[in-house]
Amino acid sequence: MEKKWLLRNTSKDVISLANKSGVSPVVAKILINRKFDNEIDIRKFMRASIDDLYDPFLMKDMEKAIDIIKLAIENKEKIVVYGDYDADGVTSTVIMYKGLKRSGANVEYYVPDREHEGYGINSDRIRKLNDEGFKIVLTCDNGIAAIEQVKLAKELGLIVIITDHHELQFDENESGERTFKLPLADAVINPKQKECNYPFKNLCGAGIAFKFVQALFIKSGIDMKFVNEFIEIAGIGTICDVVDLVDENRIIAKNALDMLTNTKNLGLRCLKEMLSINDKEIKCYHVGFQIGPCINATGRLESASISVELLLCEEENRAKELAKTLFDLNKKRQEMTTENVEEVIELIHNSTFKNDKVLVIYKDTIHESIAGIVAGRVRETFNVPTIILTKGKETPKGSARSIKEYNLFEELIKCKELLEKFGGHPMAAGLSIKEENIEKLRQKLNLICTLTDEDIKPKIRIDQRMPLGKISYEMINELEQLEPFGKGNSSPLLAEKNIPILKIDILGKTANTIKIKCVIPGLNKTIDGICFNRVDEFIEMLKEKYGEEHMNYLTNPRGMKLDLIYSPQINEYNGRKSIQLKILEFKLS
């Protein structure tokens, strides 16, 4: 698929702002591209200090909720933390449970079964919790859409506190006016409420759980050093839930990564050992693509309570056993995902709807726990919003993933008469639907879709044009200060045109890596570039240009020049350091 390269430009005085903010012009330009265009915001961004966290009592209903919990602790009433089965839900549950335990609460936790109970509060489970003598239900990472379930809990005499970060449900009249619907809980904590004046709206479930415990400790007179211990757990949820890594999310994630490198959490230490990263500096990649998927795998294939137990575990042999379980389940999940993604992509290529702007795929053999991952991979392949549905216990259910130009949650609202249940965000959602409505949903979403061909063309936004001769160790160190990278703070992309190529090698056991020796014009020097998993695409590019001679140019790139989008990095090999380019995109000049 053709990609559009776009160079970001600004009218701001980059040099002046860099001098005022105490950063280099390169860093200042990148931060301007991320909409940090004044020295106060830049200094706060670079500082990422725990001291800059907001007062948790600025959240609507926080004071009310803490007063309820404190009274329950004094009266030794039974509290249940009602969590969720993904990494954000697991980490939220751990934070809430440990925070309440330290406060002296009579507390237990419950994580629902994905297959049998589904997402959010389950009515049958509420009845069972009531029968078991629980007086307070405290949700985390769910509950904002549980209108009927909260109503039932209140009828049974339970006290319900909702802490959630998902979008609010609403009704819309013919004029487009919206009436937002909230569960009639005793307290509802969600910064996305219109009446909530909290300065930052985009915390994940674990971030809100952290703020809740912070508020509880303040009211209980517990030393703040104890609440800061929860930052590393909140950071895992923040990174894995793919929220914007700015403002409080950046503070949580950046400090979490520092803590995770030398974590004191026994379960995390054992999991890091299983992943062979116990001696590495932990980065966003390790959390998002190694630690997080292992935590998620338990909720997908068995029970998320296994992951909760690991993060709470204080007995070494048991922690090692649990860590191995997580590792093995994730390996199984990876194999299932690869197989299903390949089958779905083939199905799309052979279908009548392969050119749809919104893909709606029903394949009843997909394990419902990996529908979201499959949707994400298919979305990446075709760059269009994708809904993957599979056979559920009662009706088909599944997950959806979107692109930046398409607000998935809003579009599903327009089709709510076809859906049994749904919820989520602009970029991701979960839903259940009767089988006879699946084709109707596909047709309606595509009928009302306003995406253009230009919208679905992948866009790569380049931060700055950077001649290879200007790259230095100092610049790379400066760019690393912008970490952690993720949604809202993407890894900086640099680019240069007309780079002379001296040599091209295909490396790796499966010949999936390209190594390109680039000439630095005017300096009589070279710099190596590495590109992963794009060998076939590179060879196809040469074939289009050079025809039958293309393999000769691969072995002897005489006169070849490339335009590259890259990220500079430091390569260490056999004790020697060198600068190399991580090549992200390429085309012939």
- Per cent of the chain over pLDDT 70 is 100
pLDDT of residue 115: 79
Summarize pLDDT for 456-487 with one digit per residue, the tens.
999 999 999 999 999 999 999 999 999 999 98
* pTM recorded for the entire structure: 0.90
1 has a pLDDT exceeding 80? no
Sign, CA torsion 197/198/202/203: negative
Summarize pLDDT for 78-107 with one digit per residue, the tens.
999 999 999 999 999 999 999 999 999 999
**56 preceded by a cis bond (ω within 30 of 0):** no
259 in Cβ contact with 231 (< 8 Å)? yes
28 in Cβ contact with 37 (< 8 Å)? no
Q: 10 Å Cβ neighbour count for 102?
A: 17
Helix (H, G, I), strand (E, B) or coil at 112: coil
pLDDT of residue 441: 97
Q: Which two tokens stand for residue 386?
A: 């994708």
**Beta pairing partners, 162:** 188
pLDDT of residue 116: 82
Helix (H, G, I), strand (E, B) or coil at 24: coil
Q: Residue 394: which pLDDT band, with cuts at 50, 70 and 90?
A: confident
